Chain A
Amino acid sequence: MWFDRIVIVLLAAAAGMAILVTVGIVLSLIFETIQFFGKVPLSNFLFGLEWSPQTAIRADQVGSGGSFGILPLINGTLLISAIAMIVATPLGLTSAVYLSEYSSKSARAWIKPGLEILAGIPTVVYGFFAALTLAPFIRMTGNQMGLEVASESALAAGIVMGIMIVPLISSLSDDVINSVPQSLRDASLGMGATQSETIRRVVLPAALPGISGSLLLAASRAIGETMIVLMAAGMAAKLTLNPLDAVTTITVQIVALLTGDQEFDSAKTLSAFALGLFLFGITLCINVVALHIVRKYQEQYD
């Protein structure tokens, strides 16, 4: 029937939109990135140690080229993400273990949505809290201990971001732990192991691939997060591992480069797209690997 055919073609077109979006992302980023690398050599971008993308009004001004070394940005992004993961991994994993192995059904019915509220709160709210409450608090505490703390420290942004991704880790890991077959637990308990020994020696090792998948997804989320770092981490592109210092991230720089007035083909504007492509590539790789691990793991016990 021709009517049915048309309907199915329309539905297929809708499904094709998903591919189109990906193609759109890749094309829009690649096109501008190629233009950018026409102005700034790839090696300067990937291996440069300095990031200061100011553009000159006249070509003969000092420093008119700007420096587009991505390493300080990667440094800042990884520093903040690492802090976030250090906060989120123990909280998320132990919450997941408790929820799936210990808590009663009724307690679980309250705690799980409670944790998921954390994931539903807009990131701009976390950013506000990090910048206005946590950062001054950390600064005050640090100063009392005689430490030098920047007013926009990586630590504040990292901690808040860590709390934000707790539910991501806990709910994915909870699913993974639940899919470990009960027979494994029963065998261990039957041999006289306590519940916690069973969890540590049997359940968690069995769930490890799936858990690592959930941690990877959380890390990718942390790397791509924008608002918290934009509001709480600052703009200073520095090569540092000091969590009390102000750092900047790839996402913050993309926003900084593209808000306000801009001319379309200056190296400064174009560099935002190169950063975007880099960010997209990194998170895509992590996501593909993580989703693959999670999927493969689920098949293993099905």
Chain B
Amino acid sequence: MIDLTKKAGFGLAGRHRAEKRFKWVGRSAIAISLMFLALMVGSITLTASGTLRQTQIAVQVDLGAENVDPTDPASASYGRLVKSGLRDMFPDVTSRREKKALYNLVSPEGSFEAAKLVAKDPDLLGSTQTLWLTASDDLDLYLRGKIDITLPQNQRQISDKEVVWINALQANNQLRRVANWNFLTGGDSREPEIAGILSALVGSLYSLAVCFALSFPIGIGAAIYLEEFAPANRLSDLIEVNINNLAAVPSIVFGLLGLSIFLGYMGLPRSSPLVGGMVLALMTLPTIIIAARAALRSVPPSFKEAALALGASPVQAVFHHVFPVAMPGMLTGAIIGMAQALGETAPLLMIGMVAFIVDIPDSILEPATALPVQIFLWADSPERAFTEKTAAAIIVLLIFLISMNLIAILLRRKLETRF
């Protein structure tokens, strides 16, 4: 006869080691996933930190009456004045090519900035003034040590000559680093030093507003019907299976639907937040329905039964007694659905919300883009400065998402009642 106790005792140490190993594998799997998360968010935050501040150059601009007409300052050619100001600072620069390089120290948008400064403060007119203008992205990168000047000249964005100028400017205190509010208040631009996210953010908010206005009432209506009124038949079953499947349909397919029905068949304006919001609404509908149904189910049936017993009609019982109790849960689901919609990119590419949008859109019918799409567009740009902008835009997007999820969690904690 085999001695079972001996056999069991023999392997015991090994079995316990296997137990420890197994546990350790589980722990390390979780650790790997969380470390990846930390690595990703950390590296993006690090890249984004370059966007916090930007460099400005002090340029002496002659705003005398012969250059700027005091009665109509907007008509002056500020680009020319800024250029001549730069030439005055470095009188030894004569060749065409060098002049061009010199002008490039200031952002191409510098002339608009000068015009804006003058429009804001007409007292500047009449004499030579020091204007602080945004510097080019290359200058900014160089100042922050992001350009390796040990490389041969033709392999870097900034030449030895420019390095000399920049050092001279720095020695004269003609360079300063300021908080980069422009990133939050400006629209998109071809120049990374000027590009901001406001136009994309507004586009996102318009789309979300449309999305919420459509998906919240429809989703809640559908949930109430399925939970409270739907007869138990095959049609209800079909709707139920259908909703679960819709939740797993690839988002890009919703984009195709939007392209062919909303744009092609209904002729709604391309690239508009209206269409974007409609597509996002279809996408978030299943999320909202599923969450709202769970919220309705958590209301004890006694509430409804009591109302019915006192003579309320089924509709009254549901809307006066079940619905208000389920509302916080429904709102939580809706906020999570909106967060999902805010991060969605692919369907918006399909309906043309990938346009280059400088101006802040005024209505839901104007061409707009959305924050994640802006991230996608910037990520594609070759300039290194745009990489930093992309990372910064991602951080803004993540901040929005985190706040929305926090609101959902707090709402649930605060309003949650247990029965």
Using CB atoms and an 8 Å cutoff, list the residues of chain A in contact with chain B: 1, 3-4, 7-8, 10-19, 21-22, 24-25, 28-29, 31-32, 90-92, 94-95, 97-99, 102, 111, 114-115, 117-118, 120-129, 131-133, 163, 166-167, 192, 194-197, 199-200, 217, 220-221, 223-227, 230-231, 251, 254-255, 258-259, 264, 272-273, 276, 279-280, 283-284, 287-288, 291
Complex CA–CA separation, A28 to B289 (angstroms): 24
Closest Cβ neighbor of A226 among chain B residues:
B346
Contact B249 A98, beta carbon cutoff 8 Å? no
Closest Cβ neighbor of A3 among chain B residues:
B315
Q: Which of B63-92 contact A (CB under 8 A)?
A: none
Contact B253 A163, beta carbon cutoff 8 Å? no
- Measured CB to CB, the closest approach of chain A to B297, in angstroms, equals 15
Interface centre among B16, B25, B26, B246 (most CB of A within 10 A): B26
Among B25, B217, B372, contact of A94 (Cβ-Cβ < 8 Å): B25
Among B218, B342, B346, contact of A227 (Cβ-Cβ < 8 Å): B346
- Measured CB to CB, the closest approach of chain A to B311, in angstroms, equals 12
Complex CA–CA separation, A231 to B224 (angstroms): 40
Complex CA–CA separation, A127 to B345 (angstroms): 11
Contact A196 B229, beta carbon cutoff 8 Å? no
Contact B345 A117, beta carbon cutoff 8 Å? no
Given the known interface contacts A111-B30, A196-B22, the answer about A17 and B44 at a Cβ–Cβ threshold of 8 Å is no
| 4 new A-B contacts at CB < 8 Å, known A102-B23, A118-B36, A231-B376 | A7-B315, A19-B238, A90-B29, A123-B345
Among listed B151-159, B162-170, B257-265, B302-310, interface-contacting one: B257-265
Contact B221 A225, beta carbon cutoff 8 Å? no
B interface: dominant SS: helix
When distances are taken between beta carbons in the complex, the residues of chain A under 8 Å from B224 are 11
- Measured CB to CB, the closest approach of chain A to B310, in angstroms, equals 16
Among listed B106-114, B174-182, B393-401, interface-contacting one: B393-401
Closest 9 CB pairs of A and B: A224-B250, A98-B26, A122-B343, A14-B221, A196-B22, A11-B225, A226-B346, A94-B29, A28-B260
Does B239 lie at the interface of the complex (its beta carbon under 8 Å from any beta carbon of A)? yes
Q: Which of B371-393 contact A (CB under 8 A)?
A: 372, 375-376, 379-380, 387, 390-391
- Measured CB to CB, the closest approach of chain A to B86, in angstroms, equals 34
Interface centre among B225, B282, B319, B401 (most CB of A within 10 A): B225
Does B339 lie at the interface of the complex (its beta carbon under 8 Å from any beta carbon of A)? yes
Q: What are 26 A-B contacts with C-beta separation under 8 Å? A: A3-B315, A7-B315, A12-B229, A14-B222, A18-B222, A25-B256, A28-B261, A95-B26, A95-B33, A98-B27, A114-B34, A121-B398, A124-B372, A125-B44, A125-B394, A132-B387, A194-B19, A196-B21, A221-B248, A230-B346, A231-B380, A254-B252, A255-B349, A279-B250, A279-B252, A279-B253
Contact B256 A18, beta carbon cutoff 8 Å? no
Given the known interface contacts A14-B225, A255-B346, the answer about A196 and B19 at a Cβ–Cβ threshold of 8 Å is yes
Contact B33 A115, beta carbon cutoff 8 Å? yes
- Measured CB to CB, the closest approach of chain A to B39, in angstroms, equals 8
Contact A17 B248, beta carbon cutoff 8 Å? no
When distances are taken between beta carbons in the complex, the residues of chain A under 8 Å from B298 are none
Contact B251 A288, beta carbon cutoff 8 Å? no
Complex CA–CA separation, A156 to B246 (angstroms): 29
Contact B243 A18, beta carbon cutoff 8 Å? yes
Contact A280 B249, beta carbon cutoff 8 Å? yes
Does B314 lie at the interface of the complex (its beta carbon under 8 Å from any beta carbon of A)? yes
Contact B397 A18, beta carbon cutoff 8 Å? no
Interface string of B2-19 (1 = CB under 8 A from A): 000000100000011011
Contact A14 B314, beta carbon cutoff 8 Å? no
When distances are taken between beta carbons in the complex, the residues of chain A under 8 Å from B147 are none
For chain B, the bracket of interface size reads 35 or more
Complex CA–CA separation, A74 to B285 (angstroms): 29
Closest Cβ neighbor of A27 among chain B residues:
B261
Complex CA–CA separation, A256 to B248 (angstroms): 23
Given the known interface contacts A14-B217, A128-B375, the answer about A91 and B27 at a Cβ–Cβ threshold of 8 Å is no
When distances are taken between beta carbons in the complex, the residues of chain B under 8 Å from A197 are 15, 18-19
- Measured CB to CB, the closest approach of chain B to A14, in angstroms, equals 3
Complex CA–CA separation, A272 to B346 (angstroms): 14
- Measured CB to CB, the closest approach of chain A to B398, in angstroms, equals 7
Does B191 lie at the interface of the complex (its beta carbon under 8 Å from any beta carbon of A)? no
Contact A97 B26, beta carbon cutoff 8 Å? yes
Does B37 lie at the interface of the complex (its beta carbon under 8 Å from any beta carbon of A)? yes
Contact B225 A8, beta carbon cutoff 8 Å? yes
Given the known interface contacts A14-B218, A231-B379, the answer about A251 and B19 at a Cβ–Cβ threshold of 8 Å is no
Closest Cβ neighbor of B47 among chain A residues:
A132
When distances are taken between beta carbons in the complex, the residues of chain B under 8 Å from A192 are 8
Given the known interface contacts A19-B242, A91-B33, the answer about A196 and B23 at a Cβ–Cβ threshold of 8 Å is yes
Does B405 lie at the interface of the complex (its beta carbon under 8 Å from any beta carbon of A)? yes
Contact A11 B246, beta carbon cutoff 8 Å? no
Complex CA–CA separation, A251 to B255 (angstroms): 11
- Measured CB to CB, the closest approach of chain B to A201, in angstroms, equals 12
When distances are taken between beta carbons in the complex, the residues of chain A under 8 Å from B232 are none
Interface centre among A97, A114, A227, A273 (most CB of B within 10 A): A227
Contact A98 B257, beta carbon cutoff 8 Å? no
Contact B239 A19, beta carbon cutoff 8 Å? yes
Complex CA–CA separation, A293 to B264 (angstroms): 38
Does B313 lie at the interface of the complex (its beta carbon under 8 Å from any beta carbon of A)? yes
Does B327 lie at the interface of the complex (its beta carbon under 8 Å from any beta carbon of A)? no
